[in-house]
């Protein structure tokens, strides 16, 4: 079969590799780490830095199309590869998603509202900030994920201290918003501009990390869900995106819908689609990058997705252990996905569990049973 290329070796790459192989492709993964989830699943692992000239030459020479699972791959690398081969998403879109300031400008360009915010480049910018943005959340413009690189600040003094603590790098200060709910939408856009979406996902975070995703997004008005789907499509359209894009949204206490951030790739909140939809976000990514038809995915089972963090691999005394998978797999509708990471660490994403059942009530009951067996948070389930 033909070869596809993937930049990055994490679990998102691993699940994309599985989807590509299932469609008859062989996959080459560029990842500097010797042991990685995607590297282990790949037909060939190029172990080199993302900007390694020889590795990039090989990718461009041998792959029919190239994608990335890691949004912080240098945008110049995608640009260079894109000169020879279809690269989806393309460098400019990835560059926007790498930088919260550029991302917010893109929201404005597409006419999509987001949190009131300011770009802070220096201590002087902090001192001059509009106090209407406080209390707020200071976020580094680049490289943050899972709540890393963020500080909640109540006043100007805390803002100045937090800016220094984050290293004095460019940051975005966002007003702290009263959140009623969090949603996300996955949109896939083909080279021909055709777009399809997965159903709206409702998300709950614990300690800044996604804990639970529910689909359908019960409790969210259908008109608001439709609006989220429209806005995600408008954002993809506004940079002629090709590939899978995830847009995170906030629903405020007053019912307003605001965009939070985008990811230029499949997203943790879309993992449920492997087991609960006719086509997964990873299959959509492969189809979009390879220029294949994009079917409209259909949710066939209401479901809950529970993230499995490394904490589960440690008992109360801090001793390492293996969670009781056999007990979890007794539950009807349970699908276990482990990423094959070498070492469990606290707060590290080791896998996820999807509970997909005939009814939402059944899925909720089985998901709650899973939380009891594994000792998981019950966010979104009670
Ligand atoms: P991800 O792992 O999703 O990439 P991240 O580190 O980029 O996360 P954000 O999505 O910006 O971080 O924020 C993490 C979480 O913090 C949000 O999902 C939300 O729960 C909360 N949060 C972020 N910004 C705000 C805000 N302006 N007001 C209230 N809560 C917020
Ligand atoms: Mg983020
Ligand atoms: Mg986020």
Residue 342's pLDDT is 86
Are 10 and 82 members of one domain? yes
Asked whether 32 and 50 are in contact (CB, 8 A), the reply is yes
The residue whose C-alpha atom lies closest to atom 9 belonging to ligand 1 is 147
Q: Return the residue whose CA atom lies nearest to atom 17 of ligand 1.
A: 208
Same domain, 324 and 252: yes
In a domain, 110, yes or no: no
- 354 and 211 fall within a common domain: yes
Note if the bond before 216 is cis, omega within 30 degrees: yes
Last residue of a domain, one of 72, 87, 102: 87
Give CA–CA dist 119/271, Å, rounded. Answer: 32
Binding-site residues for ATP, please?
100, 139, 144-150, 174-177, 182, 205, 260-261
Average predicted confidence (pLDDT) for the chain: 97
Last residue of a domain, one of 142, 157, 175: 175
Query: Could you tell me the pTM of the whole model?
Result: 0.97
Number of domains within the chain: 3
138 shares a domain with 11: no
CATH number of residue 254's parent domain: 3.30.470.20
Picking from 136, 158, 175, the residue at the C-terminal end of a domain is 175
Residue ranges of the chain whose pLDDT lies below 70: none
Q: Are residues 83 and 219 in the same domain?
A: no
Contacts of 190 (CB under 8 A, 6+ apart): 242, 287, 288, 291, 293, 294
260 & 162 share domain = no
49 lines ligand 1 (CB under 6 A): no
Please tell me the predicted confidence (pLDDT) of residue 169: 96
Q: Which residues contact 344 (CB under 8 A, 6 or more apart)?
A: 310, 312, 313, 314, 320, 350
User: 205 CB under 6 A from ligand 1?
Assistant: yes
Range of 336's domain? 179-374
Give the full edge-to-edge strand order of the sheet including 26-30: 44-46, 26-30, 3-7, 65-68
Ligand 1: atom nearest CA of 177 is 28
- The pLDDT assigned to 145 comes to 87
The answer to whether 31 touches 68, Cβ cutoff 8 Å, is no
In a domain, 66, yes or no: yes
CATH number at residue 15: 3.40.50.20
Same domain, 64 and 122: no
Do residue 58 and residue 142 come from a single domain? no
Q: Give me the CATH number covering residue 144.
A: 3.30.1490.20
| Residue 298 shares a structural domain with residue 155 | no
Q: What is the pLDDT of residue 229?
A: 98
- Ligand 1, atom nearest to 115 Cα: 27
Assigned token pair, 47: 């172990």
Confidence (pLDDT) at 368: 98
Q: Do 37 and 51 belong together in one domain?
A: yes
Tokens describing residue 140: 């580094």
Instruction: Write the burial class of residue 378 (CB in 10 Å: 0-12 exposed, 13-18 middle, 19+ buried).
Output: middle
Question: Is residue 28 domain-shared with residue 56, that is, in the same domain?
Answer: yes
Q: Which of 60, 9, 18 is nearest to 274 (CA)?
A: 18
Residues with Cβ within 8 Å of 246's Cβ and at least 6 positions away in sequence, in order, are 184, 185, 186, 187, 262, 263, 265, 266, 267, 269, 270
**In this structure, is residue 160 part of a structural domain?**
yes
Separation CA 114–CA 356 (nearest Å): 32
């Amino acid at each position: 079969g033909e070869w596809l290329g993937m930049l990055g070796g994490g679990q998102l790459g691993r699940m994309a590799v599985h989807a590509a192989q299932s469609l008859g492709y062989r996959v080459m993964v560029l990842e500097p780490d010797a042991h990685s989830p995607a590297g282990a699943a790949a037909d060939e692992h190029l172990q080199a830095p993302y900007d390694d000239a020889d590795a990039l030459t090989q990718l461009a020479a041998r792959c029919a199309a190239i994608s990335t699972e890691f949004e912080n791959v240098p945008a110049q690398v995608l640009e260079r590869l894109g000169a020879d081969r279809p690269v989806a998403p393309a460098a400019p879109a990835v560059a926007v998603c790498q930088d919260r300031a550029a991302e917010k400008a893109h929201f404005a360009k597409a006419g999509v509202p987001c949190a009131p915010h300011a770009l802070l480049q220096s201590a002087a910018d902090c001192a001059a900030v509009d106090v209407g943005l406080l209390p707020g959340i200071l976020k580094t413009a680049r490289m943050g994920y899972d709540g890393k690189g963020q500080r909640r600040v109540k006043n100007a003094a805390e803002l100045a201290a937090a800016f220094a603590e984050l290293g004095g790098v460019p940051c975005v200060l966002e007003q702290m918003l009263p959140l009623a709910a969090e949603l996300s939408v996955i949109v896939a856009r083909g080279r021909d501009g055709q777009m399809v979406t997965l159903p709206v996902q409702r998300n709950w975070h614990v300690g800044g990390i996604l804990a639970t995703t529910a689909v359908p997004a019960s409790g969210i008005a259908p008109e608001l869900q439709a609006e989220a789907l429209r806005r995600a499509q408008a954002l993809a359209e506004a940079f002629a995106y090709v590939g899978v894009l995830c847009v995170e949204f906030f629903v405020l206490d007053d019912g307003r819908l605001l965009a939070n951030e985008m990811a230029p790739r499949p997203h943790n909140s879309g993992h449920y689609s492997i087991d609960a939809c006719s086509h997964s976000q990873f299959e959509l990514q492969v189809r979009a990058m390879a220029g294949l038809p994009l079917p409209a995915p259909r949710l066939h089972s209401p479901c809950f997705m529970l993230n499995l963090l490394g904490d589960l691999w440690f008992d109360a005394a801090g001793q390492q252990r293996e969670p009781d998978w056999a007990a979890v797999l007794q539950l009807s509708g349970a699908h276990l996905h482990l990423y094959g990471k070498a070492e469990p660490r606290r707060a590290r994403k080791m896998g996820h569990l999807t509970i997909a059942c005939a009814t939402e009530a059944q899925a909720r009951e089985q998901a709650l049973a899973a939380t009891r067996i594994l000792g998981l948070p019950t966010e979104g389930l009670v």
